[in-house]
Structure 1
Amino acid sequence: MNTEESLRDRVLHTDDQLRDLIQLLLQRANQRQLWLLFIDERGCLGDPLMPMADYPSDPLATVRVDDLGEVTESHLLIHRMGSLLKMTGNTGIVLVWEHPGRDAVRKADRAWARAMAEQAADLGIPLRAQFTLYGRGVRQLHPDDYL
């Protein structure tokens, strides 16, 4: 069994286990981007792992799209993630906000984490956890971090 197979078979019972897996997979921050990870029905890391560079700077900026009308960037992003969740057959979403530098949590991370948590709750999308990946490692974002 190769390492990737064994990592995908780890049941992630706790957020600490999830954080350790993220640290192992992503290691350290290289650029500003968002990672979308899925959790499958077993509670293990699902497919695919999706990096997204160039996500908007303001989660509350509005955008007009054909199928949703005028919505915030965070609403659009979590809505699309919810669609991917259904298409892939996974059961949960984990977000990792990557940015180089020493600061574990930046103002932009707080704004995005808050907006995504609110939109996920409003749309009924199972957002299991959010983390930052920065120059010194991985840190979980808790509601106290972004309220």
Structure 2
Amino acid sequence: MTAIPAPMTEPIITDEEVLRHVTGLVGEAYRRQLWLMFLDADDLALPVLMPIEAYPNRPTYPQLEKIAGAIADMVAELRAASVILTWERPGSGDSTPDERLWAAALGIACEVRELTVRAQLLASREGVRHFDKAEYFAVAA
């Protein structure tokens, strides 16, 4: 886990505010990892970031369960109301089939655990953007 340097004092309510928050923390991508960020019941960012670097290119059931379990544990420990998932990796801003598969699978795994995913984003060399359900479910289906 990584502590956020300055506490966030304003709620993160809109999609634009989510994008601004994640951009301020992750910025331009330079390595492949998944960032977990947490919000409380008042939509305030909790002062914890959790990067996950070691996950396979394509989701496997054991690894998916391990990551979803870690998210559930962090949500419980922090008493978080929701999580923001940010997929960081160098390269273009276009998602890959494997990224779409990961986003869909992890989103479903969180839903099964009754965890609220506030948003999924993709951080690339082109910056941070929303990674919407329509994009990853259309291809994963």
Pick the TM interval, shorter chain: 0.7 to 0.9
Aligned residue pair count: 133
| Equivalent in the alignment of 1:37 | 37
Q: Which has the larger radius of gyration?
A: 1
Aligned equivalents of 1:133, 1:53: Cα separation in 2: 14
8 Å Cα contact 1:131-1:138 kept in structure 2: yes
Aligned equivalents of 2:22, 2:61: Cα separation in 1: 31
8 Å Cα contact 2:93-2:122 kept in structure 1: no
| Match of residue 97, structure 2, among 103, 107, 118 | 107
| Match of residue 120, structure 1, among 104, 110, 119 | 110
| Equivalent in the alignment of 2:84 | 94
Aligned-residue Cα RMSD (Å) equals: 1.5
- TM-score, normalised with respect to structure 2: 0.87
1:41 Cα shift? 2.3
8 Å Cα contact 1:19-1:139 kept in structure 2: yes
Residue 36 of structure 1 aligns to which amino acid in structure 2?
Answer: L
Aligned equivalents of 2:70, 2:127: Cα separation in 1: 28
1:26 Cα shift? 1.3
Consecutive unaligned residues of structure 2, counting only runs of 5 or more, are: none
Residue 109 of structure 1 aligns to which amino acid in structure 2?
Answer: E
Runs of 4+ in structure 1 deviating by more than 4 angstroms, as ranges, are: none
1:104 Cα shift? 3.1
- What secondary structure sits across from 2:93 in the alignment? coil
Aligned equivalents of 1:140, 1:129: Cα separation in 2: 8
8 Å Cα contact 1:104-1:139 kept in structure 2: no
- What secondary structure sits across from 1:46 in the alignment? strand
Aligned equivalents of 2:94, 2:81: Cα separation in 1: 28
| Equivalent in the alignment of 2:24 | 24
- What secondary structure sits across from 1:79 in the alignment? helix
1:23 Cα shift? 0.8
